[in-house]
Structure 1
Protein backbone atom coordinates (compact mmCIF):
# COMPACT_ATOMS: atom_id res chain seq x y z
CA UNK A 1 0.00 0.00 0.00
CA UNK A 2 1.39 3.41 -0.90
CA UNK A 3 1.83 6.13 1.69
CA UNK A 4 -0.96 8.20 0.15
CA UNK A 5 -3.39 5.30 0.05
CA UNK A 6 -5.50 5.07 3.19
CA UNK A 7 -6.28 1.66 4.71
CA UNK A 8 -9.57 0.51 3.29
CA UNK A 9 -9.36 2.88 0.33
CA UNK A 10 -9.90 2.22 -3.36
CA UNK A 11 -7.76 3.67 -6.13
CA UNK A 12 -8.13 3.44 -9.88
CA UNK A 13 -5.21 4.14 -12.19
CA UNK A 14 -5.24 4.18 -15.96
CA UNK A 15 -2.73 1.78 -17.49
CA UNK A 16 -1.73 0.90 -21.02
CA UNK A 17 -4.09 -2.07 -21.04
CA UNK A 18 -6.99 -0.60 -19.10
CA UNK A 19 -7.47 0.38 -15.47
CA UNK A 20 -5.68 -0.97 -12.40
CA UNK A 21 -7.75 -1.35 -9.24
CA UNK A 22 -5.86 -1.02 -5.97
CA UNK A 23 -6.84 -1.34 -2.35
CA UNK A 24 -10.14 -2.60 -1.00
CA UNK A 25 -13.44 -3.46 -2.67
CA UNK A 26 -15.66 -3.48 0.41
CA UNK A 27 -18.85 -2.01 1.86
CA UNK A 28 -16.79 1.06 2.76
CA UNK A 29 -15.30 1.59 -0.72
CA UNK A 30 -17.79 0.14 -3.23
CA UNK A 31 -19.94 3.31 -3.50
CA UNK A 32 -16.84 5.45 -4.14
CA UNK A 33 -15.50 2.91 -6.65
CA UNK A 34 -18.80 2.83 -8.53
CA UNK A 35 -18.92 6.63 -8.66
CA UNK A 36 -15.28 6.80 -9.76
CA UNK A 37 -15.77 4.30 -12.58
CA UNK A 38 -19.26 5.24 -13.83
CA UNK A 39 -17.91 7.51 -16.58
CA UNK A 40 -15.87 4.68 -18.07
CA UNK A 41 -19.08 3.04 -19.23
CA UNK A 42 -20.29 6.23 -20.93
CA UNK A 43 -17.23 7.32 -22.90
CA UNK A 44 -18.19 5.51 -26.09
CA UNK A 45 -15.52 2.80 -25.92
CA UNK A 46 -16.14 -0.78 -26.96
CA UNK A 47 -13.79 -2.56 -24.54
CA UNK A 48 -12.80 -2.10 -20.93
CA UNK A 49 -10.36 -4.01 -18.74
CA UNK A 50 -10.05 -3.82 -14.97
CA UNK A 51 -6.81 -5.28 -13.62
CA UNK A 52 -7.71 -6.64 -10.18
CA UNK A 53 -4.21 -7.72 -9.12
CA UNK A 54 -3.96 -4.81 -6.67
CA UNK A 55 -7.20 -5.61 -4.84
CA UNK A 56 -6.00 -6.45 -1.34
CA UNK A 57 -9.39 -7.03 0.30
CA UNK A 58 -12.93 -7.66 -0.87
CA UNK A 59 -16.27 -8.57 0.62
CA UNK A 60 -19.76 -9.19 -0.74
CA UNK A 61 -20.13 -5.50 -1.65
CA UNK A 62 -16.96 -5.77 -3.73
CA UNK A 63 -18.36 -8.82 -5.49
CA UNK A 64 -21.62 -6.92 -6.08
CA UNK A 65 -19.60 -4.08 -7.60
CA UNK A 66 -17.95 -6.46 -10.08
CA UNK A 67 -21.41 -7.70 -11.07
CA UNK A 68 -22.66 -4.11 -11.39
CA UNK A 69 -19.73 -3.31 -13.70
CA UNK A 70 -20.74 -6.29 -15.83
CA UNK A 71 -24.31 -4.98 -15.99
CA UNK A 72 -23.17 -1.46 -16.93
CA UNK A 73 -20.88 -2.87 -19.61
CA UNK A 74 -23.66 -4.97 -21.08
CA UNK A 75 -26.02 -1.97 -21.16
CA UNK A 76 -23.35 0.13 -22.91
CA UNK A 77 -22.42 -2.69 -25.32
CA UNK A 78 -18.88 -2.76 -23.93
CA UNK A 79 -16.77 -5.89 -23.76
CA UNK A 80 -15.58 -6.05 -20.14
CA UNK A 81 -12.60 -8.09 -19.00
CA UNK A 82 -11.26 -8.69 -15.49
CA UNK A 83 -7.51 -9.34 -15.50
CA UNK A 84 -5.50 -10.96 -12.72
CA UNK A 85 -8.22 -11.50 -10.12
CA UNK A 86 -6.52 -12.38 -6.83
CA UNK A 87 -7.17 -15.76 -5.28
CA UNK A 88 -9.36 -14.34 -2.51
CA UNK A 89 -11.72 -12.83 -5.10
CA UNK A 90 -11.74 -16.04 -7.12
CA UNK A 91 -12.56 -18.05 -3.98
CA UNK A 92 -15.40 -15.70 -3.07
CA UNK A 93 -16.77 -15.96 -6.60
CA UNK A 94 -16.61 -19.77 -6.53
CA UNK A 95 -18.37 -20.00 -3.15
CA UNK A 96 -21.05 -17.57 -4.35
CA UNK A 97 -21.60 -19.45 -7.61
CA UNK A 98 -20.27 -16.42 -9.51
CA UNK A 99 -16.95 -17.79 -10.78
CA UNK A 100 -18.02 -17.04 -14.34
CA UNK A 101 -18.02 -13.30 -13.48
CA UNK A 102 -14.25 -13.40 -13.10
CA UNK A 103 -13.57 -15.37 -16.25
CA UNK A 104 -11.20 -13.63 -18.67
CA UNK A 105 -14.03 -12.46 -20.94
CA UNK A 106 -17.35 -12.79 -19.10
CA UNK A 107 -19.27 -10.93 -21.80
CA UNK A 108 -18.72 -12.32 -25.26
CA UNK A 109 -21.28 -10.27 -27.18
Structure 2
Protein backbone atom coordinates (compact mmCIF):
# COMPACT_ATOMS: atom_id res chain seq x y z
CA UNK A 1 0.00 0.00 0.00
CA UNK A 2 1.24 3.49 -0.77
CA UNK A 3 2.17 5.81 2.10
CA UNK A 4 -0.17 8.64 1.05
CA UNK A 5 -3.65 7.52 0.13
CA UNK A 6 -4.22 8.59 -3.49
CA UNK A 7 -7.96 8.79 -2.91
CA UNK A 8 -7.50 11.88 -0.72
CA UNK A 9 -7.03 13.93 -3.88
CA UNK A 10 -10.63 13.31 -4.99
CA UNK A 11 -12.76 16.40 -4.43
CA UNK A 12 -16.07 15.27 -5.93
CA UNK A 13 -18.11 12.10 -6.17
CA UNK A 14 -20.72 13.57 -8.45
CA UNK A 15 -22.17 12.80 -11.86
CA UNK A 16 -19.88 15.30 -13.58
CA UNK A 17 -16.74 13.94 -11.95
CA UNK A 18 -17.82 10.31 -11.98
CA UNK A 19 -15.79 8.92 -14.87
CA UNK A 20 -12.52 10.48 -13.69
CA UNK A 21 -13.18 9.33 -10.11
CA UNK A 22 -13.97 5.80 -11.30
CA UNK A 23 -10.68 5.57 -13.20
CA UNK A 24 -8.79 7.12 -10.28
CA UNK A 25 -10.16 4.40 -8.00
CA UNK A 26 -9.37 1.63 -10.47
CA UNK A 27 -5.78 2.87 -10.67
CA UNK A 28 -5.52 2.88 -6.87
CA UNK A 29 -6.83 -0.70 -6.74
CA UNK A 30 -4.31 -1.68 -9.39
CA UNK A 31 -1.58 -0.16 -7.22
CA UNK A 32 -2.70 -2.33 -4.30
CA UNK A 33 -4.71 0.16 -2.25
CA UNK A 34 -7.26 -1.48 0.04
CA UNK A 35 -8.31 1.55 2.12
CA UNK A 36 -9.95 4.43 0.33
CA UNK A 37 -9.81 7.63 2.38
CA UNK A 38 -12.46 9.96 1.00
CA UNK A 39 -11.64 12.81 3.38
CA UNK A 40 -10.86 15.18 0.51
CA UNK A 41 -14.34 14.92 -1.04
CA UNK A 42 -16.14 18.25 -0.83
CA UNK A 43 -19.25 17.39 -2.86
CA UNK A 44 -21.04 14.11 -3.43
CA UNK A 45 -24.35 12.79 -4.62
CA UNK A 46 -25.79 9.35 -5.36
CA UNK A 47 -22.95 8.88 -7.84
CA UNK A 48 -20.73 8.39 -4.79
CA UNK A 49 -22.61 5.24 -3.83
CA UNK A 50 -22.37 3.90 -7.38
CA UNK A 51 -18.64 4.64 -7.49
CA UNK A 52 -17.99 2.91 -4.18
CA UNK A 53 -19.91 -0.17 -5.37
CA UNK A 54 -17.98 -0.21 -8.66
CA UNK A 55 -14.65 0.09 -6.83
CA UNK A 56 -15.66 -2.72 -4.48
CA UNK A 57 -16.60 -4.95 -7.47
CA UNK A 58 -13.25 -4.20 -9.12
CA UNK A 59 -11.37 -4.98 -5.91
CA UNK A 60 -13.26 -8.28 -5.52
CA UNK A 61 -12.35 -9.20 -9.10
CA UNK A 62 -8.67 -9.07 -8.14
CA UNK A 63 -9.11 -10.78 -4.78
CA UNK A 64 -9.16 -7.65 -2.59
CA UNK A 65 -11.66 -6.17 -0.14
CA UNK A 66 -11.88 -2.39 0.12
CA UNK A 67 -12.55 -0.43 3.26
CA UNK A 68 -13.68 3.19 3.09
CA UNK A 69 -12.85 5.93 5.58
CA UNK A 70 -14.10 9.50 5.93
CA UNK A 71 -17.07 8.84 3.65
CA UNK A 72 -19.25 11.96 3.23
CA UNK A 73 -22.29 11.77 5.51
CA UNK A 74 -24.76 12.18 2.67
CA UNK A 75 -23.20 9.23 0.83
CA UNK A 76 -23.51 7.10 3.99
CA UNK A 77 -27.15 8.13 4.30
CA UNK A 78 -27.83 7.24 0.66
CA UNK A 79 -26.10 3.85 1.01
CA UNK A 80 -28.34 3.13 4.01
CA UNK A 81 -31.44 4.31 2.13
CA UNK A 82 -30.57 2.04 -0.82
CA UNK A 83 -29.85 -0.89 1.53
CA UNK A 84 -26.26 -1.35 0.36
CA UNK A 85 -24.30 -0.11 3.39
CA UNK A 86 -23.24 -3.67 4.25
CA UNK A 87 -21.47 -3.86 0.87
CA UNK A 88 -19.44 -0.76 1.64
CA UNK A 89 -17.31 -1.28 4.78
CA UNK A 90 -16.80 2.06 6.42
CA UNK A 91 -19.80 3.76 4.84
Band the TM-score falls in, shorter-chain normalisation? 0.7 to 0.9
Q: Alpha carbon RMSD of aligned pairs, Å?
A: 2.4
TM-score by length of 1: 0.68
Match of 2:66, SS state, is strand
Structure 1 or 2: larger strand share?
Answer: 1
Match of 2:36, SS state, is strand
TM-score by length of 2: 0.79
Cα–Cα, structure 1 residues 22 and 36, in superposed 2: closer, same or farther, change >3 Å?
closer
Unaligned runs of 5+ in 2: none
Structure 1 residue ranges (4+ consecutive) displaced by more than 6 angstroms after TM superposition: none
Deviations for 1:52-95, whole angstroms, at most 9, x for unmatched residues?
12222222222111100000000011121101212111111111
Unaligned runs of 5+ in 1: 1-14
Q: Quick check: 1:27 aligned with 2:22?
A: no
For CA contacts below 8 A with separation 6 or more, give which structure has more relative contact order.
2
